[in-house]
Structure 1
Amino acid sequence: MTENHFRILIPSLLAPPVKIFSRMSAAEEIVVDIHETYPKQTLRNRYYIGSPNEVRALVVPVKKPNGHRTKTSEIEIDYSENWPLYHKKSLLTAYSKSPFFLYYADYVYAEFERKHPFLFDLNSALQSLFMKWLHIETPVRMAEEFIRGFDGADLRTAFKNNSSWQLSREYYQPFGENYGFRNSLSVLDILFNLGPEAEGYIKKETDYADIQSC
């Protein structure tokens, strides 16, 4: 299989690490599986940011109408807590000094406040924004059913946490002098800190051999 015919299969993700967008940029097609049985405590409903004192996980609370058999397409967002406000305050605390925070933040906030009923709706809306900002034109297709065998790179099990998405190069982070470079943070981190230059970083980070091995 050549790079021009490479496909990746991913779950529906909230605001995943930077490196997944390198894989998305290199692929010919992105297939999103929303028919898998929803696993808890993964990057499907959480993302990691570099706060002043720690790497913090921000979580979108969800409801499973069919219990442990609930599919990702059926996962509902729980608005009984004002999580959008908490996320906004957390992002402001972490990135208010980042040079491009004001350029992108309102668009992200708007999706939080839109009150999407289902998690995959919010994830899809954010993914579209990220791909637009990073100029990733790879076509995205929602799987029509659960896929048992996939002709390409099946990355569905690679998103239990963010530790496996290490970057090969550092970039500016506001608290880098105190804590060093914090790896595997949400794509929001590189957008807020590098702005339009994030596109070039991600294209250079792309390693097709690495993609095939995932």
Structure 2
Amino acid sequence: MKSVLHPVYFPDILTTAALVQSEQIMYEVCDNYQKQSYRNRMYIGTANGRLLLNIPIKHTGTGGHKKTADAQIEQSFLWQRQHWRSLVIAYRTSPFFEFYEDELHPLFHTEFDSLLNLNKASLHCIYEMLGIMPEATDTKEYKMNYEDSEYDDLRVLADAKRKPEVHLPRYRQVFEEKNGFIPHLSVLDLIFNLGPESLSYLNDLDLKPLLNSKA
């Protein structure tokens, strides 16, 4: 399987499964930036349910379309500290948070100006936590579709409003007794709860429904 995907911020479980199961990955870096997408957000599971963690993006004021590669992060307030604190509060009692904490901590304490650079760093962090290093390249130009390509077009996975195409089997979660099982969170939720078992979970997900409905 070869896939073209957006490099997003600590991707959800389905996106990560597509990354894990792909022999080759092409990151879409030539598209126009879109609001309300996983490019600058992730969802985690907390005692109060699903929580959105959003990266603030600078408004250029120039009008027109802005390339995702040109999107700059607004650093006028300490959003990284807020995200890190939220993760610690949500997952400090999970089975594997302390195991991965040292790998994750530096990313939330290093300032990034470029959203693309931050997202790639978050993906690299996930790969290290999973113990993999997939082959990845960047797109050289924007294509409307990949119908005649060997690559599966999975860029729709960056759409935060999409309807999930794949059923996620239940796995243990920190606040499941209170909230029930919450699917389609950031893969960090899976990793903190399953640890080394996460890779098997991701490899076992059946992505055929997603591939059959690719945009």
In structure 2, give the amino acid aligned to 1:184. H
**Paired position in structure 2 for 1:55:** 50
In structure 1, give the amino acid aligned to 2:35. K
In structure 1, give the amino acid aligned to 2:78. N
Among 116, 124, 146, the alignment partner of 2:120 is 124
The answer to whether the 8 A contact 1:165-1:184 is kept is no
CA distance in 1, matches of 2:18, 2:126: 14
The answer to whether the 8 A contact 2:166-2:207 is kept is no
| Deviations 1:102-150, CA, capped at 9 Å, x for gaps | 1223332311221121001011011012122223443111112212332
Count of residue correspondences? 208
Among 39, 46, 53, the alignment partner of 2:41 is 46
Give the secondary structure class of the aligned counterpart of 1:50.
strand
Q: Which runs of 4+ in 1 moved over 6 A?
A: none
- TM-score, L = length of structure 1: 0.90
CA distance in 1, matches of 2:63, 2:109: 26
**Paired position in structure 1 for 2:195:** 195
The answer to whether the 8 A contact 1:61-1:77 is kept is yes
**Paired position in structure 1 for 2:86:** 90
| Deviations 1:144-186, CA, capped at 9 Å, x for gaps | 2212332122122332216526543111101001111100000
**Paired position in structure 2 for 1:183:** 183
Give the secondary structure class of the aligned counterpart of 2:10.
coil
The runs of 5 or more residues in structure 2 that have no matched partner are none
The answer to whether the 8 A contact 1:167-1:184 is kept is no
CA distance in 1, matches of 2:19, 2:155: 14
- Cα RMSD of the aligned pairs, angstroms, is 1.8
In structure 2, give the amino acid aligned to 1:178. K
**Paired position in structure 2 for 1:141:** 137
- Give the stretch that moved more between structures: 115-124 or 161-170: 161-170
The answer to whether the 8 A contact 2:130-2:198 is kept is yes
The answer to whether the 8 A contact 2:2-2:23 is kept is yes
Identical pairs, percent: 30
Alpha-carbon shift at residue 78 of structure 1 (Å): 0.9
Matches within 5 A, 1:19-38: 19-38=14-33
The answer to whether the 8 A contact 2:9-2:41 is kept is yes
| Deviations 1:18-41, CA, capped at 9 Å, x for gaps | 122221222221111111010001
CA distance in 2, matches of 1:167, 1:192: 20
The runs of 5 or more residues in structure 1 that have no matched partner are 1-5
Among 77, 89, 93, the alignment partner of 1:81 is 77
- Give the stretch that moved more between structures: 150-159 or 193-202: 150-159
**Paired position in structure 2 for 1:111:** 107
- TM-score, L = length of structure 2: 0.89
